[in-house]
Amino acid sequence: MNGVKKGSLFLLVFALLAGLLACGSDIPADDPRIGTWKAIAVIDRSGERDVREVFPRGATLELYKSGRGILGLDGGSENISWSYGDYTLRVHDVAVGTIRKGVLRLQLLDSGTQILFEKVGGYFAPNEPDPTEPPETDVLWWDGHWYGYWSVVGASGEFAQFADKTWDCFAVIDLRVDDTPAWTGVRKGDEATVTLWDTGAPLGVVELSIDRTGGKGKAASKSGSIFYQAIKAGDWTLNPDANDAAKQRLVIEHRVTIPHSGDYMEYRIVLRRWGELWNDVSANQWPPSYAWYTGQISRPMLFALADFTIDEEPVYIPKEFRL
């Protein structure tokens, strides 16, 4: 077995338990955690495996009303003390755990290895948050094709001629999900590449990091460029839940400045997933080609763009997305 070996894990747990038996605290008799829990799996840095691969004779955790209990591993057993608070079950000085969907995920303090238990007879209590995993977020919502507009909301110098103008904006967000469990300590996080263009030219490519916080999560720029100017970490912040919770739009606001002249352009990009209507906002907030869009909404974006012409000229499409 890769990762934590059976023998070393067995010794580690009982070394932590040796000489340990804190005074138990009185637990309510109807506490749903009281009872016998049977191990079903072990997770270490190498992944998840059946508990019998690590402990051929099984593993159990017995929790008593007195705040004491017994941890049994592979036929051996040791006394433990336990308590519960702040949605966390603590086997004192040995492990902490949470219960989600009837599974107790007990993480050893010293190694980070987890032992997963199910309660004999079933666990009947509300699910509780698990601090070892990221909150549930619809991270896949970011991936795909987007349509909207970009506009200049403030400008000076050579950009002044574009002030208060609006153009269509198309985008492809290529999401890269990191499924590494958070408890391993090596999770890099979800990332994405967003490529943006309008009907006449490319706008830029920006790398994003996505934070699984809230219903849709949040995103921030890591690197890239827009309008041929560099985008640095944190220049963009995208928070669809806070910015537009009901309409679920992506809103990007930023300023680009020409270093040698000081001329600046403040721009705003508003995007929705391709296929969504904009009828919940006034017509002056629709993209310029919204009438065309509503006639193409049932088609994939790249197929619709392949047939889109303005003044009998095909619109711009980045080379990598041309059909």
In DSSP notation, 50-63 reads EHHHH-TT-EEEEE
pLDDT band at 179 (very low <50, low <70, confident <90, very high): low
* Average of per-residue pLDDT across 151-180: 91
List, for residues 79-114, the tens digit of each pLDDT value. Answer: 999 988 877 888 887 788 888 888 898 887 766 688
Cα-to-chain-centroid distance, residue 267: 27
Query: Among positive and negative, which fits the CA dihedral 80, 85, 88, 94?
Result: negative
Work out the angle at residue 144's Cα, subtended by the Cα atoms of residues 305 and 288, and round it to the nearest 5 degrees.
45
Whether 3 shows a pLDDT value over 60: the answer reads no
Looking at residue 235, what is its pLDDT? 95
Looking at residue 100, what is its pLDDT? 82
> Mind giving me the DSSP string for 5-31?
-HHHHHHHHHHHHTT--PPP----TT-
DSSP 129: -
Q: Which two tokens stand for residue 217?
A: 């999560």
Whether 57 shows a pLDDT value over 60: the answer reads yes
Looking at residue 304, what is its pLDDT? 96
pLDDT band at 1 (very low <50, low <70, confident <90, very high): very low
Cα-to-chain-centroid distance, residue 146: 20
Whether 14 shows a pLDDT value over 60: the answer reads no
For residues 186 and 179, give the distance between their C-alpha atoms in angstroms, rounded to a whole number: 11
Looking at residue 30, what is its pLDDT? 84
